């Protein structure tokens, strides 16, 4: 039974399962504004529907589950001086992200290929998050003048040790084992086993089929570097972290330093602060509310327009950030980006669980 079937997304019920499939593989299944609204409508429709035992999220194609939000229109409108489209997109998307995180039934996500940014917001907040050999999960927003959002700062805050600061500041891509270790995923299941898993879930509505299909992922890189990450990324500010890295000649430290220096200094500094704040958050709503303070200002006062230009529009990979380096930032610059937005905030529905 189809709820929505378009060129971008297919939402329907199959057996006992509410299914959401992203269907724009040529665009790496980027999440558009209307797609986010349709996902939210489905969550609302299925929340109290006894015929739906669980939700299953997947995507067409082998390159990406969802490589991020569809930011072309966000860029075009902001470039023309209209910042309200992006602000509305983010507020509505964040409301959907919270509903996904708080959904009272099992939510299974099958994440092949790239899962980044907005893809994390729909794929990494469920109860049964599945990765495979091709999976590459990341929060690369600092490279385009944004911060890890869509609730990403909460996942980062809950990662072991100081992995959250490292993953959020650097945008490093995580394979299956590392995604599980850092808390972005729960299960490794080879992709060739997914069709049988989907069939079993639809026929039975029993989420234990995911546990039965799970295998052990091969070792990742995070655990091997965790001691160095904890040592270097413990600082209270981005400047502390950069100084720590700068004083270490090891290959890991110098590679991390080079990566951080490429990203927006303002976004990098704000990311550290947001991850720290999220460590005290009860749930996702507080994290999303803090993230929105930055994204609301990202185009009008931050580096977002220049970051998108350099990385996606012109592809020259040579952005001119508002600040030449983290050293050129003052604490006030970060504070201004993270102050409450007068009269505007993300409006969540119902009581927080």
CATH of the domain at 130: 3.90.226.10
CA distance 31 to 123: 11
pLDDT at 3 (0 to 100)? 85
CA distance 18 to 46: 7
What's the pLDDT band for 71 if we cut at 50, 70, 90?
A: confident
Residues whose CB is less than 8 angstroms from the CB of residue 76 and which lie 6 or more positions away in sequence, other chains included:
none
The CA-CA-CA angle for residues 74, 76, 287, to 5°, reads: 20
**pLDDT over threshold 80, residue 1:** no
**pLDDT over threshold 90, residue 280:** no
Residue at 342 is within a domain? no
pLDDT over 70, % of the chain: 100
Do residues 229 and 160 make contact, with C-beta atoms less than 8 angstroms apart?
no
Out of 60-64, 217-221, 276-280, least confident range: 217-221
Write out the H or E segment, with its range, that includes residue 240. helix 238-246
Residue at 309 is within a domain? yes
Residue at 197 is within a domain? yes
CA distance 161 to 176: 19
User: Which pair of structure tokens corresponds to residue 301?
Assistant: 């006062």
Residue at 56 is within a domain? yes
pLDDT at 70 (0 to 100)? 86
Nearest C-alpha neighbor of 212 from the set 126, 114, 108: 108
Q: What is the pTM of this model?
A: 0.97
CA distance 69 to 72: 9
What mean pLDDT do residues 42-70 have?
A: 97
pLDDT in tens, 237-278: 999 999 999 999 999 999 999 999 999 999 999 999 999 999
Residue at 345 is within a domain? no
Strands 9-14 and 54-59: unpaired
Between 84-102 and 33-47, two packed helices, what is the crossing angle to 10 degrees? 30
What mean pLDDT do residues 195-204 have?
A: 98
Residue at 344 is within a domain? no
Write the CA distances from 325 to 95, 235, 296, integer angstroms. Answer: 33, 17, 22
pLDDT at 4 (0 to 100)? 87
Write the CA distances from 54 to 107, 335, 351, integer angstroms. Answer: 6, 41, 22
What mean pLDDT do residues 101-129 have?
A: 98
pLDDT at 125 (0 to 100)? 98
CA distance 144 to 75: 11
Q: Is 295 exposed, middle or buried (0-12, 13-18, 19+ CB in 10 A)?
A: buried
Query: What DSSP state is assigned to residue 311?
Result: I
Do residues 71 and 27 make contact, with C-beta atoms less than 8 angstroms apart?
no
| Residues β-bridged to residue 130 | 110, 187
What's the pLDDT band for 230 if we cut at 50, 70, 90?
A: very high
Nearest C-alpha neighbor of 86 from the set 149, 172, 4, 170: 149
Nearest C-alpha neighbor of 131 from the set 74, 48, 65, 208: 65
What's the pLDDT band for 124 if we cut at 50, 70, 90?
A: very high
User: Which pair of structure tokens corresponds to residue 212?
Assistant: 């039965």
Residue at 250 is within a domain? yes
What mean pLDDT do residues 296-305 have?
A: 97
Instruction: Name the residue range of residue 174's domain.
Output: 2-337
What's the pLDDT band for 2 if we cut at 50, 70, 90?
A: confident
Say how many domains are in the chain: 1
**pLDDT over threshold 80, residue 44:** yes
* Mean pLDDT score across all residues of the chain: 96
pLDDT at 219 (0 to 100)? 84
pLDDT in tens, 162-191: 999 999 999 999 999 999 999 999 999 999
Do residues 96 and 81 make contact, with C-beta atoms less than 8 angstroms apart?
no
Residue at 157 is within a domain? yes
CA distance 314 to 309: 6
């Amino acid at each position: 039974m189809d709820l929505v079937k378009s060129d971008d997304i297919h939402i329907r019920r199959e057996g006992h399962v509410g299914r959401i499939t992203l269907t724009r593989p040529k665009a790496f299944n980027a999440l558009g504004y209307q797609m986010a609204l349709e996902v939210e409508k489905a969550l609302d429709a299925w929340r109290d529907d006894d015929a739906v035992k669980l939700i299953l999220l997947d995507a067409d194609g082998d390159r990406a589950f969802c490589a991020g939000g569809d930011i072309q229109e966000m860029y075009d409108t902001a470039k023309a001086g209209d910042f309200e489209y992006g602000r509305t997109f983010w507020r509505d998307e964040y409301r959907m992200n919270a509903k996904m995180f708080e959904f009272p039934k099992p939510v299974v996500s099958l994440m092949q290929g790239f899962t980044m940014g907005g893809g994390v917001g729909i794929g990494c907040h469920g109860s049964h998050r599945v990765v495979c050999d091709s999976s590459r999960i990341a929060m690369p927003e600092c490279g385009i003048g944004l911060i890890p959002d869509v609730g990403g700062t909460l996942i980062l805050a809950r990662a072991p040790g100081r992995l959250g600061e490292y993953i959020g500041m650097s945008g490093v891509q995580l394979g299956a084992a590392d995604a599980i270790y850092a808390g972005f995923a729960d299960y490794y299941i080879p992709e060739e086993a997914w069709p049988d898993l989907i069939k079993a879930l639809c026929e039975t509505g029993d989420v234990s089929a995911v546990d039965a299909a799970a295998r052990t992922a091969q070792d990742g890189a995070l655990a091997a570097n965790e001691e160095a990450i904890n040592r270097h990324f413990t600082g209270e500010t981005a400047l502390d972290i950069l100084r720590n890295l700068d004083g270490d000649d090891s290959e890991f430290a110098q590679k991390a330093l080079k990566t951080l220096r490429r990203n927006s200094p303002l976004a990098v500094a704000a990311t550290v602060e947001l991850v720290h704040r999220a460590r005290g958050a009860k749930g996702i709503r507080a994290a999303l509310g803090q993230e929105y303070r930055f994204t609301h200002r990202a185009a009008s006062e931050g580096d977002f327009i220049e970051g998108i230009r350099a990385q996606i529009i012109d592809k020259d990979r040579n952005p001119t950030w508002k600040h030449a380096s983290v050293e050129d930032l003052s604490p006030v610059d970060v504070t201004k980006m993270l102050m409450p937005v007068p009269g505007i905030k993300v409006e969540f529905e119902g009581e927080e669980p």
